[in-house]
Amino acid sequence: MVLCAVRQHLLRGSRGAWARFLQRQSRCCVYSSVHGFQQEEIREKLQAFPGGSIELLTQESGLAVLTINYPSRMNAFSGSMMVDLEERVSQLEGWTDGKGLIVQGASGTFCSGSDLNAVRALSNPQDGMKMCMFMQNTLTRLLRLPMISVALVEGRALGGGAELTTACDFRLMAPGSVIQFVHKHMGLVPGWGGAARLVRIVGSQNALKLLGGAVKVDPELALQIGLAEEVLQGEGAGTPLQRAENWLSVYTKGPAPVIQAVKKVVLSGRELPLSEALRTEKDVFGTVWGGPANMQALASKSKHR
């Protein structure tokens, strides 16, 4: 009873800060009209380049699978798939039971970046900037989802596909797979936020090597530099997706509010200055303190031997 009262008090006291935190995570998280970004205008432009789809499957277990599906183009991102992805991310933001997410490509390969046919048609600087802002917003929201996310890399993750892997919390690689930031070979640099995120994952020295050399990162190198968490070995141990689900289930076991709180405190630690991260951690703590899982654990006098 006392804990519940304290929790209510914390929730009331923290409502303003919590609302601000949620606002920071909201839709136009990086670019809005202030930056000349008009979401509807670019959506319309992107829809003019159709093909493929982004499929979302949510499971009762709290795990979801997002599939990049355009096998005839090695799962390259058409314009309509960029719009699809934004819609699927919105769906996931509203999924209260979500705990984990696996992002994969269809037919045994991850994603070969943006569809070069769309790229050619959108090659003027204004359209390029709009597409870049749209994808940065979407991938930032993907990374900030209150669930633990994994990119399951089979085959190739090239260009924008390599950038997409960095918008997940973890990367698992199948034997023989490759992550390659091929942008330099295309006369480009990453534009979907992949460089900023890569520096945070592998450090600036490694990021400079991977981008400057357009290095083909195989699973061994990815493990060595901390780009990948694990190589999914073992023929007899199910499909790569099943193995990724098993890997993720270790971290998503437990009630959704607690797993979501875990992701939120890590996210704020990753993105915010220390004082702000500490205040956010306090607010998130207030949402689980005295909550059902906490009360149950106290009542069962659980030991952690």
Ligand X SMILES: CCCC(=O)SCCNC(=O)CCNC(=O)[C@H](O)C(C)(C)COP(=O)(O)OP(=O)(O)OC[C@H]1O[C@@H](n2cnc3c(N)ncnc32)[C@H](O)[C@@H]1OP(=O)(O)O
Please report how the helices 274-288 and 256-271 are oriented relative to each other, as an axis angle in degrees rounded to 10: 170
Alpha-carbon gap, residue 2 to 77, rounded angstroms: 53
Residue from the set 117, 251, 272, 279 that interacts with ligand X by CB under 6 A? 117
73 lies in the site for ligand X, by CB under 6 A: yes
Which of positions 192-211 make contact with ligand X (CB under 6 A)?
A: 192
160 lies in the site for ligand X, by CB under 6 A: yes
Candidates 220, 214, 201, 211; CA nearest to 270 is: 201
Supply the minimum distance, in Å, between the C-beta of residue 156 and ligand X.
6
Query: How far is it between the farthest Cα atoms of the chain?
Result: 64
Residue by residue, DSSP assigns 150-198 as EEEE-SEEETHHHHHHTTSSEEEE-TT-EEE-GGGGGT----SSHHHHH
Which of positions 87-116 make contact with ligand X (CB under 6 A)?
A: 112-116
Supply the minimum distance, in Å, between the C-beta of residue 221 and ligand X.
18
Q: Using CB under 6 A, which of the segments 97-105, 156-164, 216-224, 252-260 binds ligand X?
A: 156-164
Residue from the set 83, 92, 133, 158 that interacts with ligand X by CB under 6 A? 158
Residue 18, Cβ neighbours under 10 Å: how many?
18
Q: Using CB under 6 A, which of the segments 143-151, 158-166, 252-260, 261-269 binds ligand X?
A: 158-166
Residues 99 and 162: beta-carbon distance below 8 Å:
no
Residue by residue, DSSP assigns 64-111 as EEEEEE-GGGTT-B-HHHHHHHHHHHHHHHT-TT--EEEEEEGGG--B
Q: In the structure, how many helices (H) and strands (E) does the chain have?
A: 13, 9
**Structure tokens given for 181:** 């930031």
Q: Using CB under 6 A, which of the segments 13-21, 73-81, 137-145, 263-271 binds ligand X?
A: 73-81
32 lies in the site for ligand X, by CB under 6 A: no
Of residues 190 and 286, the one with the C-beta less far from ligand X: 190
Supply the minimum distance, in Å, between the C-beta of residue 40 and ligand X.
22
Of residues 10 and 173, the one with the C-beta less far from ligand X: 173
Supply the minimum distance, in Å, between the C-beta of residue 127 and ligand X.
13
Contact footprint for ligand X (CB under 6 A): 73-74, 76, 112-117, 119, 156, 158-160, 182-183, 186, 188, 191-192
